[in-house]
């Protein structure tokens, strides 16, 4: 089993490289005000290509990301009127994957990103 130990900065650099290779333009650390809640939401990236615009959130801890974190990101993305966010982490629970699949949310692991960069 391959164990990936990366700093937060190197993870972000890898994610930026990954999306640039896919032809996206990036905005780092955007803060958007929610349309319905009036709350400010901070994201790691906004990626843009043509008319497509999506939010990216990176969870840098080693624990499995559960459905609650995916729901939280989904609600924040809807609040700023950019549905279908992308979440990146070490791994995701089965419930998180099922919820993301139903809602059109993309879940990527750090391992998938690194493999696609090779």
What tens digit of pLDDT does each residue of 56-105 get?
A: 999 877 789 999 999 999 999 999 999 899 999 999 999 999 999 999 99
pLDDT at residue 26 in the model:
95
pLDDT at residue 99 in the model:
98
Round the CA-based radius of gyration of the chain to a whole number and report it: 14
pLDDT at residue 6 in the model:
47
Parse the chain into domains and list their residue ranges.
8-117
List, for residues 1-49, the tens digit of each pLDDT value.
344 444 555 788 899 999 999 999 999 988 888 877 778 888 999 999 9
Q: Where are the beta strands (DSSP E) in the chain?
A: 25-28, 31-33, 40-42, 45-49, 52-58, 86-89, 106-109
pLDDT at residue 48 in the model:
95
Name the residue among 62, 64, 32, 63 with its Cα closest to residue 45. Answer: 32
Instruction: Give the C-alpha distances (Å, rounded to integers) separating 95 from 18, 25, 29.
Output: 26, 31, 28
Query: What CATH fold (topology level) applies to the domain 8-117?
Result: Trna Endonuclease; Chain: A, domain 1 (3.40.1350)
């Amino acid at each position: 089993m391959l164990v990936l130990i990366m700093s937060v900065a190197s993870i972000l650099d890898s994610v930026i490289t990954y999306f640039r290779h896919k032809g996206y333009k990036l905005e780092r650390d955007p803060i958007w005000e929610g349309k319905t809640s009036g709350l400010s939401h901070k994201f790691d990236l906004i990626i843009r290509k043509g008319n497509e615009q999506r939010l990216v959130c990176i969870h840098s801890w080693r624990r499995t990301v559960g459905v609650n974190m995916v729901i939280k990101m989904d609600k924040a993305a809807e609040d700023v009127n950019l549905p279908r966010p992308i979440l990146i982490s070490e791994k995701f629970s089965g419930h998180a994957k099922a919820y993301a699949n139903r809602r059109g949310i993309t879940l990527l692991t750090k391992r998938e990103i690194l493999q696609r960069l090779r």
